[in-house]
Structures are given as structure tokens and as C-alpha cells.
Amino acid sequence: MESISVVTITDKELDDHLEAATGKVSSFPFRSPRPEPEAAGTPATLGGRRFSYRPLQNKDGPVGAASTTTFSVVETIQAINPRDDLFSDTEHHVLREIRRSVQLFYQIYEYYEQASGLERLKTANKAGQLGRDQEGELKAKTETASAVSLFALAAYLSRKLVGHRQEEVERIVFEVESPDRLLVDNQANALHSALFYLVESIKRHAKDDPSLTRAVLEASRQLTGRISTTARSLAYLEFYTRYHYRIEPDGVTITGFEMEEPASALQVEVQEKRPEEVVGNHIAKFEAMRLAQRLVCYDRARQHNPFVDLGGFSFTLIGDGSPGTGKTTLIQMTVTLLKDYCKTLSLPFRYLNFSVDEISDYQGRSGQNAKRFCRTVLDPRGIGFGTIDDVDQVCANRNDKNSSAGQLEVTAVFMQEFAGPNTVVRGNASFGLFSNYPEKVDDALRQRTQARFLVDGPRTLEDFTDLLHLLLSPNWEMPLGAGYQPFTTQQVRRVIQTKYEQHARPQAPALVKIFDEHARGGKISTWIEFGHYLHALQKHDERFTGRAVKNISDAIRFRMMDFDLPQEWFEKPEKFFTKPYETRMEMLKELRGTITPEIVLQEINRYADSEERYAAVARERELTERTRQIVLDAKARIAAAREPL
């Protein structure tokens, strides 16, 4: 299996090509393709894969430049609105991204030259020292260098434009024609043919800012599609595919010929569920409703959320429960609330789910899929919510010998993205992990989740009655029965305090003993007493580390910010959402509550109980499996003893 190395491209490397790229978007020569008979010496193309030898050219222009026409990306974009001498924000953004992609084109070409030995061959050719047996290698490597650099240009441009003015762009429908011919016989011809194609696409389709974005985005996708379907027949391709190129300043990675999916394809639609349609699961429902309100307080101009500083924001959460207890319904409710809030506040919103379908047999592909999933959800231009349903199947436990390489890649990526050295929590996105078997999830990944709750479904008489009434009452009329009023017990505020108070003492027997040893009269009220209790929990379970204390602290701050945003703020956004950031921060501070010893104790016990529950289930599962294996072995020995010799 081919080993993959990651090459990091820095701003400084790209800036080395800034002057050349600026010159190309300002003016470049190109001979427009005309239907005429093919002649000897026709440049290599990705159209019909024809190739005949011709001397290599320099990077300034193709042979016959005197008979070519000069084109300009800058002037083409400026001509969209000739009455305005200045570029609009969108025009400026698109132009800069095109120039940036040209810089990347030069850098990828340079990398390929160095890795493949093409640079050495070109030097020998220029000095007249190239052997005849090397001519074919020189031509093939030049063609491949041009093709892969074009793909990098187009893939980068597509990934940088996807999501820009998304709602307006998706409303525009037109088809951008595939390029007739892409020259790959040398660096200059390749770049000029791609720029010419972009210019022609802009001229034909761009009438305003959204259509300009759409035209360039679709043209870049056509370029990647055209190159990826024809370039695999190129020789010496391994000098490109053995590397992944990460453009560090932009967070974009070019991986082989993998293409960016359209934004509409990435978006996942879910069935709408309202809070009143969720029966039971009171704490989980409460925290999901809070999360939706907190996310939409994100300030896109500052790219920051005040709740990140004040507390009450959950960047990662995990919900566990038996099959059929309502995890999917909770996801649907959260997405429905976020869509409603974002629509009211004119915020872009994207929901994605990462499933087992993203696990690939190809080395590195699963990690790439996980990275793309995280980057898409974390896009600071809007609100993102990402879920990993059945996380125990998607991510590997590193102690499980049956874990696949793809699962291990995904686990490593999520650990880095959720709480790695480069993790930046802006407050615009959150990730939810859901599982029937959380004990199978790697300990280090599970402990990177800030909030955790048990999804236990309907539990009480009223819960089951309400659930049946919810599902059947629209189609069946029947008396309610004496004393029954539907959904009165599903009001979160009536139930949530009781649920929290249940954690005044831990529920696991082993933890109850530790608690009784450190709580005086069932209470802990000083810093040192809490320190003793936490230290005792760590001695009981070595997984109870500093990260656990941080997660508990986040949960406590969440409780401190236990208030609903006034409905008036959503009905009249000018009351809060359009005010200056500092003003909103002060308004939120006025609503926050205070931390009490009771809250701290409840959250410590909630966290410790969850870890104890995971460990107990894991032990029980291992014991059951070992017992089953012993029984099977015994039966096999008995059967073997009865077999006649």
C-alpha cells in the first residue's frame, strides 16, 4: 500500500508566486481554440489525449504568442458592472481566490518538478545534454506536472468558494459547459488554457455577484471533473498522489484527485421535530434546546460567541442510551430549532452527519473524510451542527484489535479537532456524539466531550401515556381518562430541577461509598473538600483526570447560564441580535445566575456516574463474552469426546 506524506504549504511559499500570479490574472496570452485540422506539433491536451513532441517552452507564454490574443480576469470581472469603477466585495473576493489558486498552481508544479526529477531533466534539456532515451520521460513528466497543478488550482478554488453567499448562489440555475480543451504540454499553456476557460465562463454567465460566484464555482468543478477523469492515464503520477498538500493558512488540503462536493450535496435534511414532540429525556432535551439558542448568538463579524467566554456553550457532547430511547428524535429536534432560529435571524446554517459510510478501505481516505466533515461544520461564515451517530461503529477503540485502519484514522482526526493543540472554539459550531454502546468508544475521545447525558427514553406512567397519545391521537379519538392531562409532565421546567437534584448523591454503589466518606451530612462546601472528593474519585478510576475536571467545570458554567433567551429577542432581533457585541455581552451577564456548592456537587456526580456506568457495562459485556466462549469451548470438547475414532 502506498505511503502518504503530508506536505505543508506556507504563506511564505505562496507569496513567492504572488507577483507572477497577479500578472497572470491581470493579463495572459492565449490562442482561442478553433475547429481546424490537426497538425504536427499540436500541443498535448486532456481533450483527445493527443501528444506529439515539441520543444518545452518557458513560463511566459506558448509558442506563437505573437498570434495570440491577450485576456484579463481582472477586466472580465470589472466588465460585469462597467458603471462602477470599484469592485464589489464579492468581485474582490472571487478575484483574490482566483489569484490565490494561481499561486498554488505554481507551487504544486514546483513540488512535482522537485519530487519527480523533472527539474533535472529540464536543466539537461536546456543545456542540450538530454539523451534521446530521456525525451519521452521529459514529455510525460511535463504533461503530468501541468495536469496535476491544474487540478490543484481548480480544487482549491472550488473549496474556497463553496458556501460563499450560499443561499443566493443555490437559487441560481445554469449549466457551465465543460472545457473544450486543456493544454498540458507545458506550464504556461496549461495555466493560460484554464484561465481562458474561467474568463469565458464569467463572460457567459456572470451578471451580478451571486451569478459570478456560481459561474466560477461551477467552472472550477468542471475543471476538476475533466482532469480527474482523464489524467489517471498519465505517467509518473505517483510523484503527485503519494503526497497530500495542506495549504496551512487556509485550512485546505489537496488529496490526489478527490473533488469537493457541492454544498447542496453536503447538506443533510432531517424530519422536523418540535420540543413538544419529544417525550421523556428531560435533561437531554433541556441541554439540546439550550445549545440551539447559544449557537445563534454567534457574532459573524467577530467570529466569536459571547457564551464561549461567559460559559454555557457546549462544543462537544455525547448522548448514550439503549436502542429506541430517542437519540434520533433529539437530533431532529435540535436541527429543527437551529433551522428555525437561523431562518429568523438570517444566518446560514448547515447540518451534517458522519456515518460508517465515510469509512474507506483506502489508506488515508477515512481521515480525509473526517477532516472535511469537521472543516465544513466549523466554517466560521455560518452556524454548523455535526453529529456522529453510532459513534462506537465509526470510531475505533485503540485497545480493540478488530478496529480497522479507517476507524483509527477517524478517531485520531476527531481527537485533534475536538481538543487538539490547534482547536479554536469560536462558538459557531457544535458536535454531538451518539451511541448505544458508549463504553466501546475510545476513552480519550469520549473524555473530549464536554457535555454528556443519558438518553433513557420514556420512564414514567405519564411518559408512556403521553407517547402513545402523541402518536395516535391525530387518528383516533378516545377519552383521556380520569385525572390525565396530556403532556403536563413534559414541561422541562417542571421536571428538570428534580432531575438535577437526583444527582445530589452519586447513583453508582461504589461512588456512594466514596461520597459518604467525604461529604459531611451529605454536603461539601469548601474548595479543599471538593479537592479531596475529586482526588478520591481519581484514585477510584484513573481515567478521572484533569480533562474530567475541565468538563465538569464547563457543565457548571452551563448551569450558571441557565436561562432562556427572551422570545422577544427572536421576534425583534434589534432588541438583542443586532446590537454591538459588547452590549450583548452585558445583557447576557445580567441574566446569568450564580454557582452554588449544590450545583458543583451535582455536576461532579453526573460526570462520575456516567464514567462508572460506561465502565460497568464494559466489564459486564466482557464477562458475558468470556462466559459464552468458555461454554462454547466446553461443548466443543464434549462433542469431540463423543466422536468415534
Task: List, for residues 403-445, the tens digit of each pLDDT value.
Answer: 888 888 999 999 989 988 878 899 999 999 998 887 788 888 8
* CA distance to 466, 476, 485, 486, per residue, from 482 (Å): 14, 18, 9, 12
Q: Which of 39-53, 274-288, 463-477 is least confident?
A: 39-53
Indicate the residue type of 10.
T
**Which is nearest to 313 in space by CA: 388, 374, 385?**
385
Taking 90 as the threshold, does the pLDDT of residue 147 lie above it? yes
* Averaged pLDDT of the chain: 83
Q: How many Cα atoms are found within 13 Å in the side-chain-facing hemisphere of 14? A: 19
Residue 107 or residue 543, greater confidence: 107
Which residues have CB under 8 Å from 266's CB, separation 6+? 350, 352, 376
Residues 411, 548, single domain; the answer is: yes
**Of the candidates 240, 260, 287, which is a domain's last residue?**
240
- Cβ count within 10 A of residue 231: 22
Phi-psi map region of 23: left, alpha, beta (phi>0 left; psi -120 to 50 alpha): alpha
Residues 184, 322, single domain; the answer is: no
How does residue 49 score in pLDDT terms, banded at 50, 70 and 90? Answer: very low
Residue 88's domain comprises: 12-32+57-240
Residue 619 or residue 538, greater confidence: 538
Beta strands 69-71 and 28-30, pairing class: antiparallel
Residues 280, 230, single domain; the answer is: no
Three-state SS for 509-572 is HHHHHHHHHHCECCECCCHHHHHHHHHHHHHHCCCCCHHHHHHHHHHHHHHHCCCCCCHHHHHC
Q: Mean per-residue pLDDT for 376-389?
A: 88
Q: Report the pLDDT value the prediction gives residue 32, as an integer from 0 to 100.
A: 64
Q: What percent of the chain has pLDDT over 70?
A: 89
Please state the φ and ψ torsions of residue 643, each to the nearest 5 degrees.
Answer: -70, 130
Residues 290, 162, single domain; the answer is: no
Class of residue 461 by CB neighbours under 10 A (exposed 0-12, middle 13-18, buried 19+): exposed
CA quadruple 403, 408, 410, 411: dihedral sign:
positive
Q: Mean per-residue pLDDT for 117-143?
A: 90
C-alpha–C-alpha distance, residues 166 and 525, integer Å: 52
CATH number of the domain at 307, please.
3.40.50.300
* 183 in any annotated domain: yes
Taking 50 as the threshold, does the pLDDT of residue 24 lie above it? yes
Assigned C-alpha cell, 227: 482532469
Residues 283, 200, single domain; the answer is: no
Q: Report the pLDDT value the prediction gives residue 491, as an integer from 0 to 100.
A: 62
Taking 90 as the threshold, does the pLDDT of residue 109 lie above it? yes
Residues making up the chain, counted from first to last: 645
Q: Report the pLDDT value the prediction gives residue 66, as an integer from 0 to 100.
A: 44
3-state DSSP assignment of residue 578? coil
Indicate the residue type of 472.
L
Q: Report the pLDDT value the prediction gives residue 44, as an integer from 0 to 100.
A: 60
Q: Report the pLDDT value the prediction gives residue 542, as an integer from 0 to 100.
A: 85
Q: Report the pLDDT value the prediction gives residue 432, as an integer from 0 to 100.
A: 92
Taking 90 as the threshold, does the pLDDT of residue 18 lie above it? yes
* 270 in any annotated domain: no
Taking 50 as the threshold, does the pLDDT of residue 61 lie above it? no
- Cβ count within 10 A of residue 293: 18
C-alpha–C-alpha distance, residues 475 and 379, integer Å: 43
Phi-psi map region of 156: left, alpha, beta (phi>0 left; psi -120 to 50 alpha): alpha
Sheet holding 383-389, edge to edge: 349-353, 383-389, 429-435, 316-320, 451-454
Q: Report the pLDDT value the prediction gives residue 59, as an integer from 0 to 100.
A: 46
Taking 80 as the threshold, does the pLDDT of residue 198 lie above it? yes
Residues 211, 313, single domain; the answer is: no
Q: Report the pLDDT value the prediction gives residue 576, as an integer from 0 to 100.
A: 92
Q: Report the pLDDT value the prediction gives residue 56, as an integer from 0 to 100.
A: 47
Task: List, for residues 66-100, the tens digit of each pLDDT value.
Answer: 457 899 999 999 999 888 888 999 999 999 999 99
How does residue 296 score in pLDDT terms, banded at 50, 70 and 90? Answer: very high
Q: Report the pLDDT value the prediction gives residue 609, as an integer from 0 to 100.
A: 87
Q: Report the pLDDT value the prediction gives residue 264, as an integer from 0 to 100.
A: 42
Please state the φ and ψ torsions of residue 83, each to the nearest 5 degrees.
Answer: -80, -15
Residues 143, 289, single domain; the answer is: no
Assigned C-alpha cell, 297: 448568538
Q: Report the pLDDT value the prediction gives residue 430, as an integer from 0 to 100.
A: 94
* 641 in any annotated domain: no
Taking 60 as the threshold, does the pLDDT of residue 51 lie above it? no
Residues 308, 232, single domain; the answer is: no
Q: Mean per-residue pLDDT for 525-539?
A: 91
* 255 in any annotated domain: no
**Residue written as grid cell 430517542:** 326
Q: What percent of the chain has pLDDT over 90?
A: 30
3-state DSSP assignment of residue 360? coil
* 645 in any annotated domain: no
* 629 in any annotated domain: no
Residues 194, 317, single domain; the answer is: no
Task: List, for residues 568-586, the tens digit of each pLDDT value.
Answer: 999 898 999 989 999 999 9
Residue 159 or residue 487, greater confidence: 159
Taking 50 as the threshold, does the pLDDT of residue 156 lie above it? yes
Residue 309 or residue 167, greater confidence: 309
Residues 389, 454, single domain; the answer is: yes
Q: CA dihedral defined by 282, 283, 288, 293, rounded to 10 degrees?
A: 100
What is the number of domains present in the chain? 2
Taking 80 as the threshold, does the pLDDT of residue 129 lie above it? yes
Residues 184, 316, single domain; the answer is: no
**Residue written as grid cell 490547534:** 422
* 146 in any annotated domain: yes
**Of the candidates 214, 240, 266, which is a domain's last residue?**
240
Taking 60 as the threshold, does the pLDDT of residue 151 lie above it? yes
Q: Mean per-residue pLDDT for 495-502?
A: 73
**Of the candidates 240, 259, 293, which is a domain's last residue?**
240
How does residue 606 score in pLDDT terms, banded at 50, 70 and 90? Answer: confident
* 408 in any annotated domain: yes
Task: List, for residues 216-247, the tens digit of each pLDDT value.
Answer: 999 998 998 888 877 767 899 999 988 889 88
Residues 279, 236, single domain; the answer is: no
Q: Report the pLDDT value the prediction gives residue 167, as an integer from 0 to 100.
A: 63
C-alpha–C-alpha distance, residues 402 and 183, integer Å: 48
